[in-house]
């Protein structure tokens, strides 16, 4: 049998339930760094491939970036609860990464690589992943990033090979590095705000 | 006058209520995360989680990740139902207190 409770106690309990549920649902993961990392990885691969004339430039850089991302993801998620939302977003990016990896390896191995199509394929896939994440998170900035990737994919089909390369470089800078830095700043601000609002013990 | 609902004694304690509410917002959570969010001691937290587990409201799973042991908890369907009913009962009690 429970003790007699006051209306204030009832309100406190409702507030406790609400605040605890929102604690659980809070976005606890930070992913801005991975956008910057992949932006830099693309630049390294392009520079290495162009100036070093190496066939290993793309596979090596992409595999190294994937390993660093995997390790970073493990550290980011360590001691944080898994949410359905986090798993859904993660699934999109993992599937996108694998599909690009398999296709790029196949295109390179088959010798059918054509720069317009190759870049449009990468840009289109990145557009899809960003727009899907943006729709799930209801985040217009990321939807805008996805649309920018799609615009780059469309433009790559209609311009010269050199121009498609420049479009790809511009898209990487804007959609990976600038967006990644913006995400990191937003995440840091969110963490500061959360730290300022928390501190209550419910035990 | 309608009869006032009884509050479920298993989750009436504030710590157990906080734990069930935290787990309702996530798929699964580590013991360390629950401890950080509630500010409870290991012993106290473990005892209350055991009560919730015995009531069938949470499931516990132990696993090793990179050789480090992890104790994970997730809310069950009966646990989610119990929390929903508890919230409904609280609201009815609050409504009755305001009307009185």
Express each pLDDT in B26-73 by its tens digit.
888 889 889 988 999 999 999 999 999 999 999 999 988 777 888 999
Going A166 to A172 to A173 to A179, the CA torsion angle's sign is: positive
3-state secondary structure B10-53: CCCCHHHHHHHHHHHCCCEEEHHHHHHHHCCCHHHHHHHHHHHH
User: What is the pLDDT, as a whole number, of residue A130?
Assistant: 96
**Range of the structural domain that residue A144 is part of:** 86-190
Phi-psi category of residue B48: left, alpha or beta, with phi > 0 → left and psi -120 to 50 → alpha: alpha
**Over residues A58-87, mean pLDDT:** 82
Would the pLDDT of A99 be above 50?
yes
Q: pTM value? A: 0.71
Q: pLDDT class for A196, splitting at 50, 70, 90? A: low
Phi-psi category of residue B67: left, alpha or beta, with phi > 0 → left and psi -120 to 50 → alpha: left
Would the pLDDT of A199 be above 50?
no
Domain assignment present for residue A13? The answer is no
Rounded Cα distance between A172 and A165, Å, is: 11
Q: pLDDT class for A9, splitting at 50, 70, 90? A: confident
Interface probe for B, chosen from A4, A20, A71, A195 (most Cβ of B below 10 Å), is: A20
- Work out the burial of residue A3: count CB atoms within 10 Å of its CB; fewer than 13 is exposed, 13-18 middle, 19 or more buried: exposed
Name the maximum alpha-carbon separation found in chain B: 60
Domains of chain B (ranges plus CATH)? 14-99 (1.10.10.10)
Mean pLDDT, rounded, of chain A: 85
Of A13, A79, A84, the CB nearest to B90: A13
CA A84 distance to own-chain centroid: 16
Rounded Cα distance between A156 and A153, Å, is: 5
Residues in chain B: 100
Would the pLDDT of A4 be above 80?
no
Of B21, B44, B97, the CB nearest to A16: B21
**Over residues A145-170, mean pLDDT:** 94
How distant is the Cα of A200 from the closest Cα of chain B, in angstroms?
Answer: 8
**Over residues A17-32, mean pLDDT:** 77
Chain B residues with CB-CB distance to A87 below 8 A = 27
Going A197 to A189 to A125 to A99, the CA torsion angle's sign is: negative
Would the pLDDT of A112 be above 50?
yes
User: What is the pLDDT, as a whole number, of residue A1?
Assistant: 44
Of A10, A74, A87, the CB nearest to B27: A87
B41 and A82: CB-CB below 8 Å?
no
How distant is the Cα of A77 from the closest Cα of chain B, in angstroms?
Answer: 11
Would the pLDDT of B5 be above 80?
no
Question: How distant, in Å, are the alpha carbons of A31, A95, A141, A163, B1 from that of A92?
Answer: 14, 5, 18, 30, 54
Give the tens place of pLDDT for each residue, A25-57: 665 567 899 999 999 999 999 899 888 888 788
Q: pLDDT class for B96, splitting at 50, 70, 90? A: confident
Number of structural domains found in chain A: 1
Three-class secondary structure of residue B9 per DSSP: coil
Q: pLDDT class for A3, splitting at 50, 70, 90? A: low
Domain assignment present for residue A112? The answer is yes
More confident residue, A55 or A127: A127
Q: How many CB atoms lie within 10 A of CB A118?
A: 18
Across A79-93, A96-110, A169-183, the highest mean pLDDT is recorded for: A169-183
Express as a percent the part of chain B with pLDDT over 70.
94
More confident residue, A15 or A2: A15
Going A85 to A89 to A94 to A96, the CA torsion angle's sign is: positive
**Over residues A123-149, mean pLDDT:** 95
Nearest to B20 by CA among B57, B56, B46: B57
Domain assignment present for residue A69? The answer is no
The residue with tokens 């190294």 is A64
Dihedral angle computed from the Cα positions of residues B50, B53, B58 and B64, in that order, rounded to the nearest 10 degrees: 60
């Amino acid at each position: 049998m429970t003790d007699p409770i006051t209306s204030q106690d009832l309100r406190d309990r409702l507030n406790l339930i609400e605040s605890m549920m929102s604690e659980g649902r809070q976005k606890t993961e930070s992913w801005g760094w991975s956008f910057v990392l992949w932006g830099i990885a693309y630049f390294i691969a392009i520079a290495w491939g162009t100036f070093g004339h190496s066939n290993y430039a793309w596979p090596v850089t992409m595999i190294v970036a994937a390993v660093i991302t995997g390790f970073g993801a493990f550290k980011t998620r360590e001691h944080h609860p898994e949410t359905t939302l986090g798993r859904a977003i993660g699934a999109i990016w993992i599937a996108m990464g694998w599909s690009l990896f398999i296709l790029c390896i196949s295109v390179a191995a088959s010798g059918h690589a054509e720069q317009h199509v190759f870049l449009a394929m990468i840009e289109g896939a990145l557009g899809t992943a960003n727009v899907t994440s943006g729709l799930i998170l209801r985040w217009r900035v990321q939807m805008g990033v996805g649309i920018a990737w799609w615009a780059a994919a469309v433009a790559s089909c209609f311009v010269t090979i050199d121009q498609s390369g420049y479009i790809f470089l511009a898209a990487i800078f804007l959609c990976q590095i600038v967006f990644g830095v913006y995400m990191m700043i937003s995440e840091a601000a969110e963490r500061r705000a959360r730290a300022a609002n928390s501190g209550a013990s419910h035990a | 006058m309608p009869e006032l609902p009884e509050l479920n004694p298993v989750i009436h304690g504030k710590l157990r209520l906080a734990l069930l509410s935290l787990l309702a917002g996530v798929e699964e959570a580590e013991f360390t995360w629950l401890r950080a969010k509630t500010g409870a001691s290991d012993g106290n937290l473990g005892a209350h989680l055991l009560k919730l587990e015995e009531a069938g409201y949470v499931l516990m799973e132990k696993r090793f990740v990179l050789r480090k042991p992890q104790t994970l908890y997730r809310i069950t369907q009966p646990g989610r139902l119990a929390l929903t009913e508890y919230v409904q009962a609280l609201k009815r009690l609050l409504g009755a207190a305001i009307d009185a």
